[in-house]
Structure 1
Amino acid sequence: MAKERFSEADQDADGSMAHAPEVTVRPAAGAVRGVVLVLHGGRSNSFEPVRSRHLSPARMIPFARLLSSWGSPAGLETWSLRNRVRGWNGEHMSALHDARWALQQIRKRHPGKPVYLLGHSMGGLTALCAADDPQVRAVVALAPWLDSTTPLQQVSGRRVLIVHGDADRWTSPRQSLRYAQRIQHIADDVRYVTLTGAGHFMFTKLSVWHELSASYLLKSFSDDTGAPVDAKYLRRAADVLVEPSPLGVTL
Structure 2
Amino acid sequence: MRTARLGRAVGQGPTAVCGAVLLLPGGEEVSARRPSAVWAAASVRAFGRAVGRSGRGEGLVTHVVHYRYRGWNGGEAHPAADATWAADEVVRRYGDVPVCLVGVGMGGRAALRAAGHEAVNSVVAVAPWLPEEDAAATPEPVRQLAGRRVLIVHGTNDERADPELSFRLAARAKKANRDVCRFEVHSDGHGLHQHRDEVLALTADFVRGALFGHSLARPLEDALAAPPPIGLRMPLAAGFGRSLRGS
TM-score, normalised to structure 2's length? Answer: 0.84
SS in 2 for 1:176: helix
Q: How far did 1:171 drift?
A: 0.5
What is the aligned-residue identity percentage? Answer: 33
- Cα 1:19/1:134, change in 2 over 3 Å: closer
Is 1:36–1:116's contact at 8 Å kept on the other side of the alignment? Answer: yes
User: Alignment RMSD, CA only?
Assistant: 1.8
Does residue 115 (structure 1) correspond to residue 99 (structure 2)? The answer is yes
Separation in structure 2 between the aligned mates of residue 155 and residue 77 of structure 1, nearest angstrom: 23
Identify the match of residue 242 of structure 1 among 222, 226, 239: 222
Name the count of aligned residue pairs: 224
Which residue does 1:90 correspond to in 2? 74
Separation in structure 1 between the aligned mates of residue 222 and residue 89 of structure 2, nearest angstrom: 35
Identify the match of residue 78 of structure 1 among 55, 58, 62: 62
SS in 1 for 2:20: strand
- Cα 1:133/1:72, change in 2 over 3 Å: same
SS in 1 for 2:141: coil
Which residue does 1:217 correspond to in 2? 207
Separation in structure 2 between the aligned mates of residue 18 and residue 59 of structure 1, nearest angstrom: 22
Separation in structure 2 between the aligned mates of residue 183 and residue 18 of structure 1, nearest angstrom: 33
Does residue 38 (structure 1) correspond to residue 18 (structure 2)? The answer is no
Is 1:49–1:86's contact at 8 Å kept on the other side of the alignment? Answer: yes
Which amino acid letter does the alignment assign opposite residue 35 of structure 1?
A
SS in 2 for 1:174: helix
Which amino acid letter does the alignment assign opposite residue 219 of structure 2?
D
Q: How far did 1:184 drift?
A: 0.8
Separation in structure 2 between the aligned mates of residue 115 and residue 53 of structure 1, nearest angstrom: 24
Separation in structure 1 between the aligned mates of residue 4 and residue 93 of structure 2, nearest angstrom: 19
Does residue 164 (structure 1) correspond to residue 154 (structure 2)? The answer is yes
Separation in structure 1 between the aligned mates of residue 168 and residue 178 of structure 2, nearest angstrom: 17
- Cα 1:191/1:167, change in 2 over 3 Å: same
TM-score, normalised to structure 1's length? Answer: 0.83
Name the stretch that deviates more: 240-249 or 196-205.
240-249
Separation in structure 2 between the aligned mates of residue 217 and residue 174 of structure 1, nearest angstrom: 24
Which residue does 2:51 correspond to in 1? 67
SS in 2 for 1:184: helix
Which amino acid letter does the alignment assign opposite residue 248 of structure 1?
R
Separation in structure 1 between the aligned mates of residue 208 and residue 221 of structure 2, nearest angstrom: 13
Which residue does 1:193 correspond to in 2? 183
Which amino acid letter does the alignment assign opposite residue 241 of structure 1?
E
Which residue does 1:102 correspond to in 2? 86
Which residue does 1:144 correspond to in 2? 128
Post-superposition CA distance 1:25-55 (Å, at most 9, x none): 235433211111110100000011111343x
Q: How far did 1:109 drift?
A: 1.7
SS in 2 for 1:45: coil
Is 2:87–2:120's contact at 8 Å kept on the other side of the alignment? Answer: no
Identify the match of residue 14 of structure 2 among 29, 34, 48: 29
SS in 2 for 1:42: coil
Separation in structure 2 between the aligned mates of residue 172 and residue 165 of structure 1, nearest angstrom: 9
Q: How far did 1:151 drift?
A: 0.8
Name the stretch that deviates more: 179-188 or 123-132.
179-188
Separation in structure 2 between the aligned mates of residue 242 and residue 177 of structure 1, nearest angstrom: 17
SS in 1 for 2:115: helix
Unaligned runs of 5+ in 1: 1-16, 224-228
Separation in structure 2 between the aligned mates of residue 109 and residue 52 of structure 1, nearest angstrom: 21
